[in-house]
Amino acid sequence: MISARYAYLQTRISLYAGQLLGLGQLNALIDRPYEADTRNAAGTNALEQYSVELDQNNVNILLQELAVLMRPLSGAPRELLNYWAHRFELGNLKAIIRGKMSNQPRSAIEEKLQDMGEFTSLPLNELLQSDTPAELLRRLEQTPYIDIARQARQLLEQGEALFALDAALDRRYYAGLARRGATIDKSSGDMLRTLTGNIVDRVNLVWLLRYRFAYNMSPAQAYYLLIPSSHRLLPQQMQQLAQCASFAEAIDKLPAPFDKILAGVRDTTEVTLKLEQENWRVANNILRSSSFNIARALAYMMLRERDLRRLRAIVSGRSMHLGAAEIRSALGLAGNGVANV
Amino acid sequence: MFKPLSMQRIELSLLKEDAPHAALLLANYGSFDPEISEILPEQFPELPGEAYRLEYSETRTHLDKILAHYEIDVPETVDAPMQTVTPQQLTETGVWLKSVWGKCSEVQEGIHRLSEEHRHASQLLRALEQFSDINIDLTLLQKKSSLLDVRIGTLPRTNIRRFEEALALAGFIAIEFSTSEEQINVVIAGPAGQTQEIERILQAAGWRTMEIPAEFHGSPDEVRRELSENLARLSEQQAQENARRLAEPSKENLRERLLDAAHILSRAAPYAELAGLMRGRGALASMSGWIPVKQLPQLKKMLATSFGDRFVLLVRDPRADERLRVPSAIQHPGWLQPFASLVLNYGVPRYGEIDPTILFAITFVLMFGMMFGDVGHGATIAFAGIMLRRRLGQYSTLAITIGLSSTVFGLLYGSVFGFEHLLPALWISPLSDPMRMLGVALAWGVAFILLSGMLTIRNRIADGRMREALLDSHGAAGLLLYLGLLSAGWQYADSGRTGMAPLLAVCAALAIMFVHSWQQNRELATGERLLIAAIEGYEASMTYISNTLSFLRLAAFSLNHVALSVAVFTVANMLQSTGYWVTVVLGNIFILGLEGAIVGIQTLRLEYYEGFSRFFGGDGRKFRPLRLGNKLVASG
Residue B142 pLDDT exceeds 70: no
Answer whether A109 touches B (CB < 8 Å).
no
As beta bridge partners, residue B419 has B416
CA A261 and chain centroid, separation? 20
The predicted pLDDT at position B635 comes to 41
Angle between the N-to-C axes of helices A324-331 and A23-31, in degrees from 0 to 180, rounded to the nearest 10 = 140
Residue B206 with chain A: CB contacts under 8 Å: 147, 150-151, 154
Cβ count within 10 A of residue A245? 10
- Which of A265, A200, A263 shows the shortest CA–CA distance to A235? A200
The percent of residues in chain B predicted with pLDDT above 70, rounded, is: 94
The predicted pLDDT at position B108 comes to 93
The predicted pLDDT at position B632 comes to 46
**How far is residue B352 from each of residues A266, B46, B273, B349, B610, measured CA to CA in Å?**
68, 35, 27, 8, 21
Residue A260 pLDDT exceeds 60: yes
Mean pLDDT of the region A258-275:
91
Residue B636 with chain A: CB contacts under 8 Å: 110
**How far is residue B50 from each of residues A292, B56, B269, B403, B633, measured CA to CA in Å?**
54, 10, 13, 54, 11
CB–CB contact B166 A220 (8 Å)? yes
Answer whether A134 touches B (CB < 8 Å).
yes
Please give the torsion angle defined by the CA atoms of residues B59, B60, B62 and B66, in that order, rounded to the nearest 10 degrees: 140
Secondary structure element (H or E) that encloses residue B191, with its range: strand B183-191
Residue B590 pLDDT exceeds 70: yes
Look at A77-81, B203-207, B357-361, B548-552 and tell me which has the smallest mean pLDDT: B203-207
More confident residue, B576 or B504: B504
* Buried/exposed code over B36-62 (b: 16+ C-beta within 10 A; e: otherwise): ebebeeeebeebbbeebbbbbbbbbbb
Mean pLDDT of the region A236-253:
94
Residue A107 with chain B: CB contacts under 8 Å: 54, 635
The predicted pLDDT at position A153 comes to 81
Which residue from A106, A110, A220 is facing B167, i.e. has the nearest CB? A220
Which 3 state secondary structure label does DSSP give B327?
strand
Mean pLDDT of the region A236-245:
94
Residue B259 pLDDT exceeds 60: yes
The predicted pLDDT at position B554 comes to 93
The predicted pLDDT at position B502 comes to 93
CA distance B384 to B361: 19
Which residue from A160, A171, A226 is facing B203, i.e. has the nearest CB? A160
CATH code assigned to A85-183: 1.20.1690
The predicted pLDDT at position B130 comes to 63
Band (B519; pLDDT cuts 50, 70, 90): very high
Among chain A residues, CA nearest to B58? A129
CA distance B324 to B462: 12
Instruction: Summarize pLDDT for A109-162 with one digit per residue, the tens.
Output: 998 899 998 899 899 999 999 998 889 999 998 888 887 888 778 777 776 667
Residue B62 with chain A: CB contacts under 8 Å: 131
Secondary structure element (H or E) that encloses residue B149, with its range: strand B148-156
The residue extents of the domains of chain B are 50-127+225-274, 138-216
CA B145 and chain centroid, separation? 63
The predicted pLDDT at position B633 comes to 46
CB–CB contact A175 B159 (8 Å)? yes
CA angle B486, B491, B495 (to 5 degrees): 155
Answer whether A95 touches B (CB < 8 Å).
no
The percent of residues in chain B predicted with pLDDT above 90, rounded, is: 61
Contact B540, B478 (CB under 8 A): yes
Band (B358; pLDDT cuts 50, 70, 90): very high
Mean pLDDT of the region B620-633:
79
Q: How far is B345 from chain A (nearest CA, A)?
A: 19
Residue B634 pLDDT exceeds 50: no
Contact A96, A136 (CB under 8 A): yes
Which residue from B102, B109, B206 is facing A151, i.e. has the nearest CB? B206
Mean pLDDT of the region B425-429:
91
CA distance B166 to B187: 15
Contacts with B6 (C-beta within 8 Å, 6 or more apart), sequence order: B292, B293, B294
CB–CB contact A224 B112 (8 Å)? no
CA distance A295 to A290: 9
ipTM of this predicted structure: 0.77
**How far is residue B274 from each of residues B41, B271, B312, measured CA to CA in Å?**
16, 5, 17
As beta bridge partners, residue B621 has B327
Answer whether A155 touches B (CB < 8 Å).
yes
Instruction: Summarize pLDDT for B177-216 with one digit per residue, the tens.
Output: 777 777 788 888 888 888 888 888 888 888 888 766 554 5
Contacts with A58 (C-beta within 8 Å, 6 or more apart), sequence order: A305, A308, A309, A311, A312
The predicted pLDDT at position B550 comes to 93
Residue A217 with chain B: CB contacts under 8 Å: 200
pTM of the model: 0.75
Among chain B residues, CA nearest to A129? B61
The predicted pLDDT at position A165 comes to 80
Residue A145 with chain B: CB contacts under 8 Å: none
Mean pLDDT of the region B139-163:
78
Please give the mean pLDDT across all residues of chain A. Answer: 85
Residue B636 pLDDT exceeds 70: no
Residue B299 pLDDT exceeds 80: yes
Instruction: Summarize pLDDT for B524-556 with one digit per residue, the tens.
Output: 888 888 999 999 899 999 999 999 999 999 999
Band (B106; pLDDT cuts 50, 70, 90): very high
Instruction: Summarize pLDDT for B215-240 with one digit per residue, the tens.
Output: 455 556 666 777 888 899 999 999 99
Band (B137; pLDDT cuts 50, 70, 90): low
Residue B3 pLDDT exceeds 60: yes
Residue type present at position A167: A
CB–CB contact A228 B205 (8 Å)? no
CATH class of B138-216: alpha beta
Answer whether A149 touches B (CB < 8 Å).
no
CA distance B448 to B609: 12
CA distance A45 to A52: 11
Which residue from B108, B109, B170 is facing A220, i.e. has the nearest CB? B170
Secondary structure element (H or E) that encloses residue B10, with its range: strand B7-15
Answer whether A234 touches B (CB < 8 Å).
no
More confident residue, A186 or B293: B293
Which 3 state secondary structure label does DSSP give B419?
strand
Residue B136 pLDDT exceeds 70: no
The predicted pLDDT at position B517 comes to 92
Answer whether A72 touches B (CB < 8 Å).
no
Among chain B residues, CA nearest to A219? B169
Residue B105 with chain A: CB contacts under 8 Å: 131-132, 134-135
**Which of residues 187 through 226 in chain A touch B, CB cutoff 8 A?**
217-221, 223-226
The percent of residues in chain A predicted with pLDDT above 70, rounded, is: 89
Mean pLDDT of the region B140-149:
72
Q: How far is A151 from chain B (nearest CA, A)?
A: 6
Q: How far is B162 from chain A (nearest CA, A)?
A: 6
Residue B562 pLDDT exceeds 50: yes
The predicted pLDDT at position A335 comes to 59
Which 3 state secondary structure label does DSSP give B517?
helix
Look at B83-92, B195-204, B258-267 and tell me which has the smallest mean pLDDT: B195-204
CB–CB contact B204 A167 (8 Å)? yes
Residue B115 pLDDT exceeds 80: yes
CA distance B305 to B84: 17
Residue B372 pLDDT exceeds 70: yes
Angle between the N-to-C axes of helices B50-70 and B87-131, in degrees from 0 to 180, rounded to the nearest 10 = 40
CB–CB contact B109 A134 (8 Å)? yes
CB–CB contact B201 A224 (8 Å)? yes
Please give the mean pLDDT across all residues of chain B. Answer: 89
